[in-house]
Structure 1
């Protein structure tokens, strides 16, 4: 088995590690209805794991922190990460739990319906990770997890001088992520999640946080305390939107880390990262499953910009 060469991780991605079962159908069934499965694919999934794989493919070494069960699905999820070159040494394995398996039903337009079990994917905590990990990395990327865990990991990162990004996902309106968001340098939300944040945290003010709002096929916008910059995205033939947001985050972070700059009050400094992120999200949507091979060459072919060049 050929594995991607590893080096010390620059980014630690903390959150869900899943096993995905993707089913392509012409259309979603009506109640009591039945549809034919045109294609069934099994692959690694989970937002933290997906972003880590994307970062490695963009020449940004990454590790993942999360938890899986002691079952075959967990073993397959870890093998997939190993093959991609992601460092998995701090992943927790709970022999008493099942790994979270997500069943993704994708219609012919690329839209997705998700069925999931909780499994072991939130069995990790901030207290279980070796604090020395934060001395090895430059950046911590958080995805969906217990709010208390997200807050504690963000605080540990800041104590070590490590920047933090957070993509809380679709449960952001149901969970109180206020403290974790306050400790975040870059916050990723889609349009619906941004609306939920507005309702839930209308009285909160986090001017130091760079807000990145993903707009699907309409591109994305970066908002800072002094203004915003937007990009309309790229037109592609959509096959499966699963993982497009994770590809977007990987592209954005790889570009920001490559440039060596995180300037909160200069939205123009994020223009390159925004273009690359939109290209990564678009490329992810052109193939099935959440993990599509990304490379600086493929991104440059679509966008005209390389994620590993300096944005100076």
Structure 2
């Protein structure tokens, strides 16, 4: 099995539990705070690691206080990135989680948004057959370098999760990415905001017209919409007790990649991804432990 190249961010997540988001001018207390490593690429790589699918986490580690914490936590979690840079620190994300589990992000970008062309010289593309990219890095100053690398290697299957930045990324960048026919993964709000469609099914049709490939739109507790070969299906999800929704989308696309890399068809991959995403939202933070994953795996194998 060839590897998946996971391009993006490993950054510090500062998770604060609050009753509700404060209004302008309010002074509120957080009920708790936790610091962990996150970032979309890290979260995806963590799922691939659980599934024992080979990958490279291509996430820059900078120089500074946050970079030191990120590097230390990466080592503890068993992840390695080949990129080191002295140009700037890593960024961090303040994740405010309300009582109902919904989360709001405030991100301070860092080195992860400034990809350099020479970093890609570290990659032996013969080792890979797929690549994951995220909207945050595409939107940033380094997005051009990432797109150019992908254009130079059209043999790589692209999984693109633009996230909430989909409506802010330059049209020219999206046009170039869509020419690469990526598997597109986003949630319902992101899909509707970008396309102006009346519902997720119409949004998926519009997006597929641009990408000419599979579109996956997550629907929260209702599961996920799969648009494949001009056919739309809803893949239902089981119920989940929501602690918070941090990392839900990342874990979903991570599981899709892991399953397809292992030979599964899209529908089966999305069905499994729904289960993994439900596991992630049932715990605090963006990732699940090896013990939680192995317990789920054992139940699936019965």
Q: TM-score normalized by structure 2?
A: 0.85
Pair 1:92 & 2:96 matched: no
Pair 1:186 & 2:183 matched: yes
Cα distance 1:100–1:74, how it changes in 2: closer, same or farther (>3 A)? same
Pair 1:29 & 2:22 matched: yes
In the other structure, the counterpart of 1:156 is 152
> 1:207 & 1:122 partners in 2: Cα distance?
24
In the other structure, the counterpart of 2:110 is 119
Q: Is the 8 A contact 2:115 2:146 kept in 1?
A: no
In the other structure, the counterpart of 1:277 is 273
List per-residue Cα deviations over 1:106-145 (Å, max 9, x = no partner). 0111111111212222111344312643111221111121
Q: Is the 8 A contact 2:217 2:224 kept in 1?
A: yes
Correspondence list, 1:287-298, <5 A: 287-293=283-289, 297-298=294-295
Larger deviation: 179-188 or 195-204? 195-204
In the other structure, the counterpart of 2:236 is 232
In the other structure, the counterpart of 2:31 is 38
Q: Is the 8 A contact 1:276 1:299 kept in 2?
A: no
Pair 1:195 & 2:192 matched: yes
> 2:124 & 2:75 partners in 1: Cα distance?
19
In the other structure, the counterpart of 1:170 is 164
> 2:293 & 2:33 partners in 1: Cα distance?
29
Of 2, 10, 17, the match for 1:17: 10
Q: Is the 8 A contact 1:82 1:88 kept in 2?
A: no
Q: Secondary structure at the match of 1:29?
A: coil
Pair 1:60 & 2:60 matched: no
Shift of 1:73: 1.2
Q: Secondary structure at the match of 1:113?
A: strand
List per-residue Cα deviations over 1:162-207 (Å, max 9, x = no partner). 2111111111111132211221431111112212442599698346
Structure with higher helix content? 2
Cα distance 1:63–1:204, how it changes in 2: closer, same or farther (>3 A)? closer
List per-residue Cα deviations over 1:266-300 (Å, max 9, x = no partner). xxx32211111111111111111112226653444
Q: TM-score normalized by structure 1?
A: 0.83
| Aligned pairs, number | 286
List per-residue Cα deviations over 1:12-51 (Å, max 9, x = no partner). 1111221111011122223222322222100101101111
Q: Is the 8 A contact 2:9 2:40 kept in 1?
A: yes
Of 221, 242, 247, the match for 1:243: 247
Q: Is the 8 A contact 2:116 2:145 kept in 1?
A: yes
